[in-house]
A = this chain, B = another copy of it.
Amino acid sequence: MIAKSKWLNRIKWDENGLVPVIAQEVGSNDVLMFAWMNREALARTAELGQAVYWSRSRKKLWHKGEESGHFQQVHEIRIDCDEDVVLLKVEQVGGLACHTGRHSCFFNKFVGGSEPDWAEAEPVLKDPDDIYKK
């Protein structure tokens, strides 16, 4: 078990025992979402081959897709040069990563000019009420 967890020791966990995680779609390379993992979440992600995050609001493990069916099949796990950020390359089941029914959570785009503001730049592909009815 010690040998098996050596790879987890490479991660520089923050003061809350967490690491930021970027989920990127295999193929399109779209950035789908951003979340956090603790040690157990990353270990389970590697074991299961599906993304398991740590929900900071609910303070528990969050197997992405457990309610919506929109699991993330993990193709690759990477860490950065500082070993304090994780990048997951995933296949997004259902094509929807965002709880708003969009492909990606990054749908608000900055629009400059005299009145700088944010504008929605990605369509809602499925009504959230239909996603979470399952």
Q: Give chain A's interface residues, CB within 8 Å of chain B.
A: 3-4, 6-7, 10, 20, 22, 24, 28-31, 33-34, 46, 76-83, 85, 87, 98-100, 102, 105-110, 112, 115-118, 121
Give complex CA distance A76, B31 in Å. 13
Judging by beta carbons under 8 Å apart, are A116 and B78 in contact?
no
Chain B residues near A87 (CB-CB < 8 A):
31, 106
Q: Say whether, besides A22-B31, A46-B110, A3 and B115 are in contact (CB < 8 Å).
A: yes
Q: How far is the CA of A109 from the CA of B79 in the complex (A)?
A: 7
Contact B34 A76 (CB under 8 A): no
A78 and B24 within 8 A (CB): no
A30 CA / B87 CA spacing, docked (Å): 11
Q: How far is the CA of A116 from the CA of B30 in the complex (A)?
A: 27
Q: For residue A79, which residues in chain B have a CB less than 8 angstroms away from its CB?
A: 106, 108, 110, 118
Across chains A and B, which 3 residue pairs bring their CB atoms closest together, nearest first? Answer: A29-B29, A77-B110, A80-B105
